[in-house]
Structure 1
Amino acid sequence: MWPFALLIFFSAFLLFQVQPLISKFILPWFGGSASVWLVAMLFFQVFLLLGYLYSFIINHFKFKTQKYIHLVLILLTFLTLPIIPSIALKPIDSTFPVIKIIILLALTVGLPYFVLSTTGPLLQAWYARKYPQKNPYILYVLSNAGSLLALITFPFIFEPLFDSVHQAWLWSGAFVVFGLGVGILVWSKFKSLPAAIVKSETVQKVGVRKTILWILFPALASAAFLAVTNHICLDIATIPFLWILPFCLYLITFIFTFADEIFYQKIIYFVLLICLLFISPFLVFNNEIGSFGLSFQLISYSLILFIACMVCHGELYRLRPASNLLTRYYLMIAIGGALGGLFVAVLAPLIFTAYWDLLVVLFITVLVVAGLYFNSVKEKSTAKERQFIYLASFLLIVFFSYYAYSIKLKSWVGTVAAERNFYGTLHVKESLANDEGAKRRFLLHGVTLHGEEVIKNDKTIPAISYYSEKTAVALLLQKIIKADSREIGVVGLGTGTLAYYGQKNDIFTFYEINQAVIDYAHKYFSYLKDSSAQIKTVLGDARLSLEKEPDVKFDLLVLDAFSSDAIPVHLLTEEAFELYSKKIKETGAIVVHISNRYLDLAPVIKAVADKHGFGFVLVDTPKNEANLSYRAVWLIVTKNEDILQSEELKPYITEKEIKKIKPWTDHFSNLFTILN
């Protein structure tokens, strides 16, 4: 058995190592959005489905034919290595990101990933035919164990020790070893196989109902996994560790439930799932959830995912077939996984303006499991008992719908506009008017504030939040960088608050990746239209856009894309700052907004500043409720000593010790080193 176990374990390890590796590789090319991971997961689920379909079809051929087809496929895959994305595939604009990500992944890792995805079901089918009296599902447990080990070792071993290019070469070499291992196994262990399992006690036929459940339960588990991943990445950070945490929980539930039925106690997990069903709206729709802290959010979402997946995978294992239907069973699981990914990554953003995905998945899971239970006891129950069950089910549906929607309505109070797209959710909200008739209007991306202003008597009054007159960026624009005509670049638009400091003859160029943000800034806020400066907005990823503007030279380049907890890491790398240094004048400066709940970005910027010979100062401005301003931490990077020694900055400069870390690059970053 050990050769089967070793190869299945190794193939699963490679299969799940490549997912965070290649996703991190392409993350800078698509704006660092959390949705890059969701689309990548959808791609991997679809190619897993194709691999399982291949295994299902080829398993009906004579073994000699199977052997030659599969070995030729592995040899062809060697020609596609190494798995390093070609620079020719780098997008030139931000249009159609989903399609571009899928094409890029298909051309880079499509064939190797497809081959690896065939290994588990194909070798298990061969094992079941060679050893029909043994349980093939233990190999599925080993497969998931290999997947889990891959995900755990990526952020803790491979990511800190190797950059993405070296990881890609290591992975490609390991794939060659895997391919040779499959060849050796086939030629040494298999000369022939039984054509089919013919013993009547092992042959099983499956109806439509059970086949649908084989698809439905993995679809619900997959959708829950991706919905939780979405919440974690959007509310915390788009980093491999936080992609991998829910993935590990997802796989652990597979290992537990498929190892032995004792791990899944149906009634206990079902009761827990119902309890979490009523807690989840509070987590999803509470605008103040960030104030509860990182640990609370991670534990809460992880618990929801674990319980939901234990229920789905536990029920899936209870419905497992005999060995003659092994490849069909795995094919249905793959179809379900792909459908769950399709729902969260593609359909949900089109259907919902808020993150209803997780609630819908949990609710359907409860109904399906309850329906199976009711169906199993239907023959034994009386008419009155059945009527009570139906009434209780109806009341549960009505009550939960009302409860979830009421919490949503509470969070929706004051909402002027809302939109959900590839980059997340946007809300424009207004507070109630105060005694003076003034009300505040906010722009929120998820739960993160991206600017506000005050409206009084139908007139707008600036509310400069993180950009008050004592902040580094305001001091630079008002008192330090003086010229008759200034070029100011701003990465991240928000409400366009910085345009408030624009002077006649100034040119402010805002770089914004999300068209909805541009639309909302123009439609619901007045900073852009009321500014004295000439305003330009450039749609697209800032790095890609700056690369296409060879003649631009800024007096000040403002990086304001990091107040959200899902930071775009690719804007903080050596390559990024090398680009920025070419886009500012010799006397110019880069100022970076690093106010963040969970991450201390100062060491990252210090490392790249030192690398490029820049000086820097950390400017920390306290909160001032009188002028509606918040505490703001900015870091100025420049070679201009006059700016660094400016008298205007000295009262707010913080002389705290900044720890030394390895500079980040497009192929290396480690957020563990900067967690607060």
Structure 2
Amino acid sequence: MIARYILPWFGGVPAVWSTVQMFFQILLTAGYAYADWVSKPGYKRERWHILLLCLSVIGVLMLSVFWRSPITPSSDWKPSPEAIPVLEIVKLLMISVGLPYFLLASNSPLVQAWFHRLFPTQTAYRLYAISNIGSLLGLVSYPLLVEPLFTLPVQGWMWSIGYLCYVGFALWGTIKALQHRSATVIYPEIEASDRPIRLSWSDRLLWIGLAATASLFLLATTARITQEIAVVPFLWVLPLTIYLLSFIITFANERYYNRNIFLGIFIFSFLAVIWAVIGLATIPIIIQITIYSLCLFAVCMICHGELYRLRPQQSQLTTFYLLVSVGGALGGIFVTFVAPVIFKGYWEYPLGLVLAWLLFFLTTFHRSETGLKWQRLMLWAGLICAGFLMYLFISLDLESSVLLQRNFYAATRIKVLEPTNESSQRYVLVHGMTLHGVQYLDPEKRKLPTAYYSETSGVGLAINHHPRRRNGMRVGVLGLGIGTLAAYGLPDDVYRFYEINPDVIEIALGKGGYFSYLQDSSATIEVVLGDARLSLERELQESGSQNYHVLVLDVFSSDSIPVYLLNREAFALYLDHLAPDGIIAVHISNRHLDLVPVVWKLADHFSLHRLLIDDEGDNERAIRSRWFLLSRDESLLSIPELTTRARNMNGYTTSLPLWTDDYSNLLQIMR
């Protein structure tokens, strides 16, 4: 919720989500460390907890006076252009939700420690399963109920009221725990047997390793199925649901985790993954998703089941949870920050399988268990298979690509289509399942616009038939790709591209000699590195309107559409940069999202004339595409070359609410 709120302030790039994620992961670890400190015997540290709870309430009440809600900062807190984004994000999160989240993070281990103190004959670990049920309910209810029904400020108030209710219960529980610390021991024989046993470093390292492997494999599986298998909105919810379910099952009762059964499931799914990787192009998507989901379930059940099997006595559960959170953070840090630097593709997936297999047998041999010969053979057989899978991932990626690279933003690759046909041979730039551009190698076809941008596409028609076509045009493009639209450039034109990914810019500018649209163009080419909305805001503030005759929005073809570029505030900015005789061309080709009602509602709000143009393409040079053309000037869209190609939208209406920075709902537009 808070990440969605500040997203437009920092451009909505993956770095925002990653920074927010790591902030909460680190604060979760800090909360667990704090819980471990509070629960230790000795000085009545619960008093500090009461103080912090009261301070958090004061903070919530004070912020509610100055902000739209206690956790949604006012516009005065927007970062300046010179600010360091990561530091600004951390500052905003610390001020808005830092202390409340810190206390919420400490709640689960603290409650379990106090439960054990009050009821030493009962197991407290089941409470961890219950807390994960709450997490799962929150995960599912937010996109299905909360986000579609309430704006972000209202969500902020709902959360704040819920937090104040939590503080009331937490104060009551803390006072009870404080009173019981001084009370007479009810079960002296249990207290004596439950005195802390010194934890070995092997136990500690296994806890961290198992938690890190499950976290790493969760993120690796999410990337695999959402970027390489199926580009479907909300598909990321499936892996996270499986991850939480494994915690719920394993920590609910020890008998729910049968080592032999889940080893068998792991081996079966492991081999199925190898089959899926080899036959990627021929296996139905639903079967692939099922295979990867089953493998994730097996890995998480093994990691979390072994964690529960290796759990310490209940008097040391806060230390246990602290090290589990450290492991989870390390897994996330590796995938988010380390893997993009050391890997060219999403190769942490087979690495996660190697680690899971290795850790399973390490825990089998642990604590003086017999290291049977068959177990050692299984260990080496599994490592060999996992190594083979890693070889498959790397070799298939490298063999199918002439260029493969990865950075913080994405893994991009360049492929060759029809390499044996000289007239049809062409390079394509792809990210996961999303196509970003196609260019022929044949010199006679090399300068032709292709894919979604051919002469018969909506954007091609808008540029070619604009009244200023021969008199010098200013064209702005949000999303560079390989720079295909530069093929329309004439000597007096200026084409200005906005792109967040520096690797994409290097490729479009000619790195490796694969694409040459920018170099071949007769127009003046300008490329702006950075988020498009932030860049446009900065330009408007510093130098005024860019006065674009055509402004192209080409960032909505994948499932992860940047909604902050398709709402009221964004379109108000686009219109500020549009010339009086300007056209906004919005590319809305999307297999899973129907963006027509979203753009239609925006056009209604700003009283824009509109045309919807569908181009069937020719399946080689031109790809099927859908474009919305919008303008203040009706005459620009009334020429026969456009109207004859436009879809008849007479009588079309939509009840979809207007999207804003405070409200958007992808569920309503899913096909």
AA at the equivalent of 1:340: G
Q: What's the secondary structure of 1:310's corresponding residue? A: helix
Task: Find the counterpart in structure 2 of residue 152 from structure 1.
Answer: 140
**Is 2:47 the partner of 1:68?**
yes
For residue 9 of structure 1, what is the aligned residue in structure 2? none
Distance 1:346 1:100 in 2: 19
Q: 1:402 to 1:445 in 2, by over 3 A?
A: same
1:638-667, CA deviations, whole angstroms, 9 ceiling, x for partnerless residues?
A: 222223322112343223656431111112
Q: Which residue of 2 aligns with 1:269?
A: 262
1:15 maps to which residue? Answer: none
Deviates more, 1:67-76 or 1:414-423: 414-423
TM-score normalised to the size of structure 1? 0.89
Higher RCO, 1 vs 2 (CA within 8 Å, ≥6 residues apart): 1
- Matched with 1:673 is 668
What is residue 512 of structure 1 aligned with on the other side?
Answer: 499
Give, in whole Å, the separation in 2 of the partners of 1:73 and 1:35. 31
Percent sequence identity is: 38
Q: Give the structure 2 partner of residue 370 of structure 1.
A: 361
The answer to whether the 8 Å contact 1:621/1:632 transfers is yes
The residue aligned with 2:66 is none
SS for the counterpart of 1:436 is: coil
**Using a 3 Å threshold, how does the CA distance of structure 1 residues 266 and 342 change in structure 2: closer, same or farther?**
same
Mean CA deviation greater in 181-190 or 439-448: 181-190
The one-letter amino acid of 2:638's match is Q
Distance in 1, Cα, partners of 2:588 & 2:167: 47
Query: What is the total number of aligned residue pairs between the two structures?
Result: 646
- Aligned equivalent of 1:446: 432
Pair 1:320 & 2:311 matched? yes
SS of residue paired to 2:402: strand
- SS at 2:412's partner residue? strand
What is the deviation of 1:477?
0.9
For 2:67, the equivalent position in structure 1 comes to none
Aligned to 2:656: 661
Q: Take 1:253 and 1:622, find their aligned partners in 2: how far apart are those partners?
A: 46
Q: Normalising by the residue count of structure 2, what TM-score does the alignment of the two structures yield? A: 0.89
8 Å CA contact 2:81, 2:538 repeated in 1: no
Query: Is the CA contact (8 Å cut-off) linking 2:213 and 2:331 kept in structure 1?
Result: yes
- Please tell me whether the aligned partners of residues 232 and 298 of structure 1 are also in contact (alpha carbons under 8 angstroms): yes
Structure 1 SS opposite 2:45: helix
Aligned partners of 2:400 and 2:240: how far apart in 1?
Answer: 36
Aligned residue for 2:22?
42
User: Residue in 1 aligned with 2:530?
Assistant: 540
Segment drifting more, 180-189 vs 502-511: 180-189
After superposition, the C-alpha distances for 1:462-488 in whole angstroms (9 at most, x for unaligned) are 351111111111111112342512111
Aligned equivalents of 2:172 and 2:370: distance in 1?
54
Q: 1:284 to 1:576 in 2, by over 3 A?
A: farther
* Residue type of the alignment partner of 2:549: D
| Amino acid paired to 1:344 | V
Match of 2:458 in 1: 472
The Cα shift of 1:104 comes to 3.7
2:17 maps to a residue whose letter is W
Specify whether residues 131 and 396 from structure 1 end up closer, same or farther in structure 2 by C-alpha distance, changes over 3 A only: closer
Segment of structure 1 superposing worse, 336-345 or 277-286? 277-286
Whole-angstrom distance in 2 between the partners of 1:377 and 1:328: 23
Tell me what 1:255 maps to. 248
Structure 1 gaps, min length 5: 1-20
Task: Indicate the larger mover: 446-455 or 89-98.
Answer: 89-98
Counterpart of 1:456 in structure 2 is 442
Alignment-derived partner of residue 526 in structure 1: 516
What amino acid is the match of 2:7?
A: L
Partner of 1:453: helix, strand, or coil?
strand
CA distance in 2, matches of 1:283, 1:87: 49
Give, in whole Å, the separation in 2 of the partners of 1:355 and 1:144: 28
Distance 1:340 1:309, change over 3 A: same
Q: Which residue of 1 aligns with 2:403?
A: 417
1:306 is matched with: 297
SS at 2:550 equivalent: strand
Take 1:362 and 1:95, find their aligned partners in 2: how far apart are those partners? 40
- In the alignment, the residues of structure 2 paired with residue 282 and residue 593 of structure 1 have an alpha-carbon distance, to the nearest angstrom, of 36
Equivalent residue for 2:335?
344
State the secondary structure of the residue aligned to 2:640: coil
SS at match of 2:607: coil
Task: Indicate if the aligned counterparts of 1:285 and 1:407 stay in contact, CA closer than 8 A.
Answer: no
CA distance in 2, matches of 1:89, 1:280: 47
How far the C-alpha of 1:89 sits from its partner, in A, is 5.0
Match of 1:584 among 578, 584, 587: 578
The aligned amino acid for 1:570 is: Y
Residues 601-620 of structure 1: matches in 2 within 5 Å?
601-620=595-614
Change in CA separation of 1:434 and 1:259 when aligned onto 2, cut-off 3 Å: same
Work out the CA distance in 2 between the residues paired with 1:151 and 1:516. 33
SS in 2 for 1:331: helix
Q: Distance in 1 between matches of 2:422 and 2:288?
A: 38
Q: Distance in 2 between matches of 1:165 and 1:296?
A: 41
Q: 1:373 Cα deviation (Å)? A: 3.0
Which runs of structure 2 are paired with 1:223-262 in the superposition (5 Å)? 223-231=216-224, 234=227, 241-262=234-255
Q: How does 1:118-129 map to 2 (within 5 A)?
A: 118-129=106-117
Q: Quick check: 2:306–2:363 contact (8 Å CA) kept in 1?
A: no
1:32 aligns with 2:22: no
Partner of 1:113: 101
Structure 2 residues without counterparts, runs of 5 or longer: 61-69
1:41-75 alpha-carbon deviations (Å, 9 max, x no partner): 22222111100101112222546x32221111112
* Partner Cα separation in structure 2 for residue 458 and residue 629 of structure 1: 16
Q: Determine helix, strand or coil for the equivalent of 1:563.
A: coil
User: Counterpart of 1:13?
Assistant: none
Deviation at 1:253, TM superposition (A): 1.3
- Cα 1:637–1:463 change in 2 (3 A) is closer
| Cα distance in structure 2, aligned partners of 1:316 and 1:153 | 28
Deviation at 1:513, TM superposition (A): 0.9
Deviation per residue, 1:425-469 (Å, 9 max, x gap): 111223453343663111112221100111137994435111111
Looking at structure 2, the residues matched to 437 and 447 of structure 1 have their Cα atoms a distance apart, in angstroms, of 25
Q: SS at the partner of 1:624? A: coil
Using the TM superposition, name which of 507-516 and 26-35 deviates more. Answer: 26-35
The reply on whether 1:575 has 2:565 as its aligned counterpart is: no
Quick one: structure 1 residues 94 and 556, their matched pair in 2 at CA, closer, same or farther if it must change by over 3 Å?
A: farther
Aligned CA distance change for structure 1 residues 538 and 79 (closer, same or farther; 3 Å): farther
Q: Does the CA-based 8 Å contact 1:353-1:425 persist in structure 2?
A: yes
Aligned-partner residue type, residue 471 of structure 1: S
TM-superposition CA deviations, 1:252-277 (whole Å, max 9, x none): 21111111123222222222222323
Does the 8 Å contact 1:130/1:193 carry over to 2? no
Q: How many Å apart are 1:194 and its aligned residue?
A: 5.7
CA distance in 2, matches of 1:181, 1:202: 28
* Aligned residues of 2:277 and 2:392 also touching (Cα < 8 A): no
The equivalent of 2:63 in structure 1 is none
**Residues 140 and 375 (structure 1), Cα distance of their counterparts in 2 relative to 1, 3 Å cut:** closer
How large is the RMSD of aligned CA atoms in angstroms?
2.8
Q: 1:438 to 1:189 in 2, by over 3 A?
A: closer
Give the match for residue 181 of structure 1: 169
* 1:281 and 1:359 in contact (8 A); partners too: no
SS of 1:415's equivalent? coil
After TM superposition, the structure 1 stretch with the greater mean CA deviation from structure 2, 535-544 or 481-490, is: 481-490
Are 1:646 and 2:639 matched, yes or no? yes
3-state SS of 2:207 partner = helix
